[in-house]
Amino acid sequence: MIAVDLEEERKEIIRRYRRLLRKAKPFLKDDDAKQIKKAFNTSLEAHKEMRRKSGEPYIYHPLAVAEICVEEIGLGTTSIISALLHDVVEDTEIELDEIEQDFGPKVAKIIDGLTKISGVFDHGSSQQAENFRKMLLTLSEDVRVILVKLADRLHNMRTLGSMPRHKQLKIISETIYLYAPLAHRLGLYAIKSELEDLWLKYSEPEVYKAIVDKIAESKASRSRFIRSFMSPILDEVVKTGLKFEVKGRPKSIHSIWSKMKKQDIPFEEVYDLFAVRIIIDSPFEMEKSACWQVYSIVTDFYTPNPDRLRDWVSTPKANGYESLHTTVMSRTGKWVEVQIRTKRMNEIAEKGYAAHWKYKDGKAGTHESGLEMWIEKVRDMLEQNDTNAIEFVDDFRANLFNEEVFVFTPKGDLKILPSGATSLDFAFDIHTEVGAKCLGAKVNNKLVPLNYVLRNGDQIEILTSSKQRPNEDWLRFVATSKARSKIKDTLKEEKKKAAADGKEIVQRKLKQMKMPFDSDVANQLRAYFEEKTVTDFYYKVGKGIIDATKIKNFKEFKTDRVKSTRPKTKAPDYTDDFSQVDKLDKDILLIGEDMDVLDYKFAKCCSPIPGDDVFGFVTVNEGIKIHRTTCPNAPELLSNHGNRIVKAKWLSEQRNAFLASLRIIGTDRVGLMRDVTDIISNELKVNMRSISIDTETGIFDGHIRLYINNTSHLDQLIHKLEKVDGVMRVTRFESPDGNN
């Protein structure tokens, strides 16, 4: 029986390998096929005893990653070989030197970059962030490291079902927090959308399934609608002689969910549920005029929404995305987004810059410089950034998802900055010295302050003064990591100088009091004055924030403490902290690897209740806090602070009351409030903590905070309230006054 299975597996491995070769065949040259075969055999041999969590042979994974590299990112032979070998140095006996000897330095460098960023989930917070910083260092050398890593992450997300729940949560959180934004920034929109959809599939499976089912239900009617919508347009485009194809596609599940959540509307009310894409086959020099010609035809038949025109054909996004988007009103009263682009633009939109990245063969695509500019910024950021790794990741991430703003220098040079950038960001983008001495700016010949937020088309002239110096407030005015890191560098220099002055003052004071000066005493002083670090203590003394004369109080305190010290008979028993927990009239969560009963608090940012999927987070000052896995803060906590996450699950269905918040929307009528409160208080015997109602122009909008037992109790309540005459929608929402 086992022999038959192994034989079948062997055949399946060969089938998958041949499929990879077929997809790679169009661009293979010389002895590429031989090298790929050699890499496949090396990987097959190295992983022969290994299986994935699903029970499948491990070799399926590198084969799948290589296939994603070819088909979905458009990479070549070097990347295929790297994908096939990406786990061998990390997981097997094979050394990097052997890889270099057999496959050359390029492949070895990529494998080295990929090895540096593995094992992310087994480490603590700073280690995870440090790994990400290492990955970005490799990006500035060879972008293929990150492209192969994204292919690896995509396949891991596609096969996440076999992983335990706590591993799933860590992987999906890191994906939504870092890898999806990175795919977006590299122009890999198809991969970015799929990573976001898979995140939703595992973070909120019921919501995901409901949206998938509704999209499937509406497929036939959607196809009919697109056919009738496109019919008049197609007839006209055919007359122009342009070659084209039309694709109708629903929005991604994640973007539909985001819109539902953001606007607090059901699936049926998401107005631009699908987009129509017209892809033109046009020579490069005719692309722009062809796109505008088709736009003109579309708007001849349908009225466009003037606020929804996006022209990325004239000014491409910084990651190279080019397309013309307009939203028009159909004859059935539905908004439809129409995207107009050429085949070349579509290839870049689907596969990012990999579609044109020729890896320094001298045949680079037309817009390679856009990615080069961005990588140059990443390189600068890495060189400038000496903050801790977590701060670095947060800074970097803040610049990943931002839309761009296009502005001009006084000489008319175009500068692209992230949306939300200020005149101070612009000054630092020109030059560090210009930023450091910036007093203000003239925008379109009008004086504006440092914190003026730039708008598309602004022309900016920076005003400077040799007496100007950066201060702490400036950090609130900037959106770019370059400006932030330069401001921090200047402040650090000033802090260093003030700390050195403070240290001298402390030494003098201790000498006067005939006390020794060493690192132990310095630490005791830090603790006495309740500062986080010794440098902070010195800095505050140097700046006069801590009065140096108060150091003599430390001497008195130390003397008193020595007198009062007595030998302890027993080491502190930390379990005493939790000894009262069992006596409280409530069931308690089981927490940690050993599932102990520990003390905890519920996070106000998401107000978990029994039945919710939850995890524990060890805070600095407030013990363990329990968050829902769908909490707005969950992705950051799970991906950046892995060492402070503890497993948590409900011991039983609880009899106690937990605070939950409901929003009820409906059409106002006499007696509606009475009917709602009747169900809550009389029928289901639920206690309300607060209720607020707003009725305007016939719409009833109520926010109710009430005490319920668990999620099934809450679902029962929502179900009953939805049946009340006039109630249109009942949703659970996060408490607005909560924080984590």
State the Cα–Cα distance between residues 723 and 87, nearest whole angstrom: 55
The token duo for 626 is 């329990």
Residue 235 among the catalytic residues: no
Nearest to 321 by CA among 306, 308, 332, 310: 310
Q: Dihedral (C-alpha) 409, 414, 416, 422: value to the nearest 10 degrees?
A: 20
CA 63 to chain centre: 27
In total, the chain counts a number of residues equal to: 740
State the Cα–Cα distance between residues 663 and 650, nearest whole angstrom: 26
Residue found by looking up tokens 């990150």 in the block: 146
According to DSSP, residue 604 is labeled T
Q: Rounded to 5 degrees, what are φ and ψ at 426?
A: -60, -45
Q: Rounded to 5 degrees, what are φ and ψ at 291?
A: -60, -45
Nearest to 598 by CA among 649, 656, 637, 654: 649
Q: Rounded to 5 degrees, what are φ and ψ at 333?
A: 85, 15
Residue 90 among the catalytic residues: yes
- Which residue in 90, 100, 350, 461 is the catalytic one? 90
The token duo for 724 is 């009340």
State the Cα–Cα distance between residues 423 and 441, nearest whole angstrom: 6
- Which residue in 91, 311, 531, 599 is the catalytic one? 91
- Non-local (6+) Cβ contacts of 650 within 8 A are 587, 589, 590, 610, 611, 614, 710
- Please report the DSSP string for 657-719 in residue order: -EEEEEEEEEE--TTHHHHHHIIIIIIS-PEEEEEEEEEETTEEEEEEEEEESSHHHHHHHHH
Which residues are the active-site residues?
Answer: 90-91
